[in-house]
């Protein structure tokens, strides 16, 4: 697996730092603090991981899905 470099995205005038970790898993930082870990489920569906156990939390989250769409857009450049 090739190591990917961190990158920044902006969504609704909020800056997020994205740190690729394992395959399809990303650590997201918001306002300089770790905000969430997310995992790609499908092209349009992303799953937030529990901060303590890192197990998937299967609940709809529009912000997480929007961040995921920005990740896909960035990586397809």
Tens digit of each residue's pLDDT (9 = 90 or more) over 13-70: 999 999 999 889 999 999 889 999 999 998 889 999 999 999 999 888 999 999 999 9
Question: Is 71 within the bounds of a domain?
Answer: yes
| Predicted confidence (pLDDT) at residue 1 exceeds the cutoff of 70 | no
Domain count, the chain: 1
How far, in whole angstroms, is CA 25 from its chain's centroid? Answer: 7
Question: Is 2 within the bounds of a domain?
Answer: no
Reported as a pLDDT band with limits 50, 70 and 90, residue 2 is: low
Q: How far apart are CA 67 and CA 28, in angstroms?
A: 9
Question: Is 54 within the bounds of a domain?
Answer: yes
Number of Cα atoms under 13 Å in the Cβ half of residue 9: 22
Question: Is 1 within the bounds of a domain?
Answer: no
Which residue range forms the structural domain that includes residue 49?
A: 7-75
Question: Is 15 within the bounds of a domain?
Answer: yes
Question: Is 67 within the bounds of a domain?
Answer: yes
Predicted pLDDT of residue 3: 73
Question: Is 20 within the bounds of a domain?
Answer: yes
Tokens read off for 57: 């939390």
């Amino acid at each position: 697996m090739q190591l990917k470099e961190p990158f920044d995205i902006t969504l609704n005038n909020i800056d997020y730092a994205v740190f690729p970790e394992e395959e399809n898993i990303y650590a997201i930082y918001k306002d300089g603090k770790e905000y969430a870990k997310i995992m790609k489920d499908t092209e349009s569906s992303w799953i937030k991981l529990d901060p303590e156990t890192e197990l998937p939390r299967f609940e709809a989250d529009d912000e997480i899905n929007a961040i995921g769409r920005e990740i896909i857009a960035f990586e397809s450049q």
